[in-house]
Amino acid sequence: MIETSKETKAQRAERLKAALNPWSAYAEIERFAREGWDSIPPEWLNTYFRWWGIYTQGDGVGAVGGTGGEGKAVRYLLVRIRIPNGLLTAAQTRRIADLAERYARGVADITVRQNIQLHWVRIEDLPAVIQGLSEVGISTLGSCGDVTRNVTGCPVAGVDADEIVDASPLVQAATAMLNGSPEFYNLPRKFKVSITGCRVWCSYPEINDVGLTAVRHPYTGLTGFSVRVGGGLSTDPHLSRRLDAFVPWEQALSVVKGVTEIFRDSDVLRQSREKARLKFLFLQHGWTAERFTAELERRLGEKLEPAVPEIAPDDVYRDHVGIHPQKRDGLAYVGVAVLRGRLTSQQLRAAAGLAERYGTGDLRATGMQNLLVLNVPRSLADELARELEALGLRIDASPFWRGTIACTGSEFCKIALTETKGFAHRLVADLESRLPGFEQHLKIHVTGCPNSCGQHWIADLGLEGKKVKVDGRLVDAYYFCVGGAVGAHQAVARPVGYRVAASEVPEAIERLLRAYLAERGAGENFRQYCAAHTDEELRNILAGELVEAVERDVALARPPHGVDG
């Protein structure tokens, strides 16, 4: 008897993608809405829906409630709205608020890729949500799946007083080129693009598959871009490699397309779902920046100009919170810190109204899960700030409120081990009480599992979700990683071997921050303090005693298709 080998996860994914371009099958979604949940076949629930920005929603227990590292789903959907460059109008914001109120229990979450997510959407209501978004010029298309995800950029592009160039037109053009195109519906895995013209790289080119950062040529004065490729986090963090290339504006789209084609055509990346991101060309297949440049030039049919010197941001905080002058005299933008990115429909609707009343109706979502109102007369900015504060949207916020990021967590995600949004809220309140005078910027990123949707690898303090037994029962816990950074001092956060129940995290952070305040040198920031201490020293400070290192166990399940937003 001849045994047939079981189809692998990668083989199944490739078979399904070869069989159907989900972007061409919207009629199926309409049919499911008419016929109900039981009419949806598994290949749509687990694969094809994602091309339309849709996931099945977890039951609130997370991964431990199911088998094979993935929890159980309920009969509701997570719907991710694609917001290129984070650009929103008041009309679009108000429409999202209306849809959230009617179909998503009144809640919307800003993600780390400038998207907005809705939860609790029924299959019967899905076409109404998609149509409602389409009427105001936005879409869920391509915000999940093995495609180019939301193209991110500086949220204050076009108004930033210090920007090199407004790169948002390139973000929109790249979106039009890649999203919905039959040429690019079948990539090996998700593909992330960042294009920014700002000096602080607020869209994190370091962790994107391709990142373009604006730079001026020192001899010609021409504005162009540096190019980085192969960035990504998850269970194998890899900061992007800079190519030896200066790319003029008019060549930027061709370069983005060329990098995407290299990824699409790399069959070696289609053999394993766990090793399918572009970064694995560098991590496992021997590629170098030089080889990548040569292949890119072959596809372009021309040599790229050599790279020029650039100044990477040096410990710059990238959250845009506060009142900031715009490049046009007399105008400012006002940024509010949205703790864990969570907004109510009432807050969204009110923010849209305030943007119209005080500005031009322009809002922006940021990569730190915040919201901005643009084009506000400087004389009215303080008044607007007070109105936003009255909505619970802080401008004068503590470093803990400003710097805390949280992924979706087990509340809605089937992969997560821990609940993150409520935990982040409680953590911030606790730290504000414990350390009321703490003033330094600090990034605390909470992620519910090892896949780093909360980007804990680039945080000052990265908290990775785990489970531990306390009095015989499993409880949420977190593993500490410290010293992550981007920009001039880019580094992956170091796992220091300390894991503790979620209830004990605030006290551990307090011990570490008090030690930092007591021991720091003149002008020494928290990143520098962590770099000057060993893992053992930091672990013992966190614990308040000498403790042995605990191994960081990696994910048992496949990395998710892209619940990182």
Marked catalytic residue, from 17, 190, 257, 467: 190
Burial status of residue 274 (CB atoms within 10 A of its CB: 0-12, 13-18, 19 or more)? middle
Catalytic residue among 198, 453, 481, 530: 453
- β-partners of residue 73 are 58
> CB atoms < 10 A from the CB of 65, how many?
14
CA distance to 243, 351, 367, per residue, from 337 (Å): 34, 13, 11
Contact 448, 96 (CB under 8 A): no
CB atoms within 10 A of CB 313: 18
Q: Examine the residue annotation and report whether 189 is marked as an active-site residue of this protein.
A: yes
DSSP structure string for 359-382? SSSEEEE-TTS-EEEEEEEHHHHH
Is-catalytic flag, 453? yes
Tally Cβ neighbours within 10 Å of residue 161. Answer: 14
Q: What is the DSSP letter of 391?
A: T
Q: Tokens 């160039």 — which residue?
A: 165
Catalytic option among 17, 50, 53, 80: 80
Q: Which residues pair with 259 in a beta bridge?
A: none
Tokens of 351: 């923010």
- C-alpha span between 213 and 435 (Å, rounded): 37
> DSSP letters along 27-61, please?
HHHHHHHHH-GGG--HHHHHTGGGGGTEEEEE-SS
**448 labelled catalytic:** yes
For Cα atoms 333, 338, 339, give the angle at the middle one, nearest 5 degrees: 150
Q: Find out whether 416 and 63 touch, Cβ atoms under 8 Å.
A: yes
Active-site entry in 71, 158, 258, 454 = 454
Render 89-137 in DSSP notation, one character per residue.
EHHHHHHHHHHHHHHSTTEEEE-TTS-EEEEEE-GGGHHHHHHHHHTTT
The answer to whether residue 454 is catalytic is yes
Residue 6 is among the residues annotated as catalytic for this protein: no
One-letter amino acid at 219 equals: Y
SS3 letters for 218-278? CCCCCEEEEEEECCECCCCCECCEECCCEEEHHHHHHHHHHHHHHHHCCHHHHCCHHHCCC
Q: Is residue 291 within 8 Å of residue 242, measured between CB atoms?
A: no
Tokens of 481: 């990683």
- Alpha carbon separation from 500 to 19, 118, 191 (Å, rounded): 46, 31, 34
Whole-angstrom Cα distance, residue 288 to residue 242? Answer: 10
Q: Which among 275, 277, 307 is positioned nearest to 290, based on CA atoms?
A: 307
Quote the CA–CA distance of 85 and 151 in Å, as a whole number: 6
User: Coil, strand, or helix at residue 473?
Assistant: strand
- Crossing angle of the two packed helices 535-543 and 505-519, in degrees rounded to 10: 120
Residues assigned a catalytic role: 80, 189-190, 448, 453-454
